[in-house]
Amino acid sequence: MRAAVKIIIIIGLLLLLMTLFMTYNTGVNLDYVIPKRGIRLATMLVVGISTAYASLIFQTITNNKILTPSIMGYESVFILFQTLIVFIYGDKTFQVLNHQTNFYVSIACMMLFSFFMYFLLFKKGSKNVYHLLLIGLVLGTLFQTMSQFFQIVIDPNEFSIIEGFMFVSFNKMNTDLLVVATVIMLATLMTAHRYVKYLDVIALGRDHAINLGLNYNRLLQVYMIIISVLVATATALVGPMMFLGILITNLTYQLFPTAKHRSMLVICALIACIALVMGQILIEHLFNFSTTVSIVINFIGGFYFMYLMLTSRRKI
């Protein structure tokens, strides 16, 4: 099938799912249902686009198709912050820190972590991206262990507050947070647009990129900043979603085997939006909110990750 036909099918499927999500089983109170669904739909689009761009750029600069930015420890930092807040303030957490302030502080914590990871390590002369991955993996494991420790010692009733942040939910959104997240995402994508053309060369490897005249280390820092902003925004907005990046990027590689990242990023974003909207439709109308979209995505993505590991091992 030609690439143009595939793109038309993907766009048509996304529009169909969006229409189905907005109109199916709305009832008679349209003035209430439609705006609420519109906010959830816009949130899914922001999260899908941010995750797609961050994951695909991250896999390109690491030259690895089974890694996602979550390996750097962003989600662990987010969960640790939420756990510490509940540990300190208990059931008065939302009186001290409302949702908007929590959103801003969560992004600030993840960005400070990125500042430590990228600028300080690069300043000390560590210009190897795999060194950054190793440090991020170790720190992420440390933060996750600390979160589990505090979750054990807090009151069980207060643990339910933390659970609300551990799983992705599109039902707790408000317009103010969505507007801020959209502005941050658009500003980051406008900045990333200037550097997308270099990804085709970066994909050839570090040595080839340097031989072709690119300032590899400088571009690596720029890409890492872009990834950190997008991941921090998506995670602070709805929560962590581990396997979404692996699922959508590898579906993009299989459906569109091309080296042109400008096209791949757009297609990957469309596939991410399809996955989130379809998952939310299943959660609301099939499972009747008995589970969350992150569990469905991680369940499917986990099996897909195992499939990728087995197929890559056979190729080796």
SS3 26: coil
Each residue's pLDDT tens digit, 167-182: 666 766 667 788 888 9
CA distances from 138 to 134, 181, 257, 285 (A): 6, 29, 33, 40
Q: What is the pLDDT of residue 128?
A: 65
The reported pTM is 0.88
154: left (phi over 0), alpha (psi -120 to 50) or beta: beta
Three-class secondary structure of residue 202 per DSSP: helix
**What are 226-280's pLDDT values in tens digits?**
988 898 888 888 878 777 888 898 888 888 887 788 889 999 999 999 999 998 8
Q: How far apart, in whole angstroms, are the C-alpha atoms of residue 314 and residue 248? A: 22
Q: What is the DSSP string of 171-190?
A: SS--HHHHHHHHHHHHHHHH
Residue 216: the pLDDT is 83
Q: Could you read off the pLDDT of 91-121 as tens digits, one per residue?
A: 777 777 777 888 888 888 888 888 777 766 6
Rounded to whole angstroms, the Cα distance separating 159 from 86 reads 8
pLDDT at position 310 is 77
What does the alpha-carbon distance between residue 92 and residue 129 come to, in Å, rounded to a whole number?
A: 41
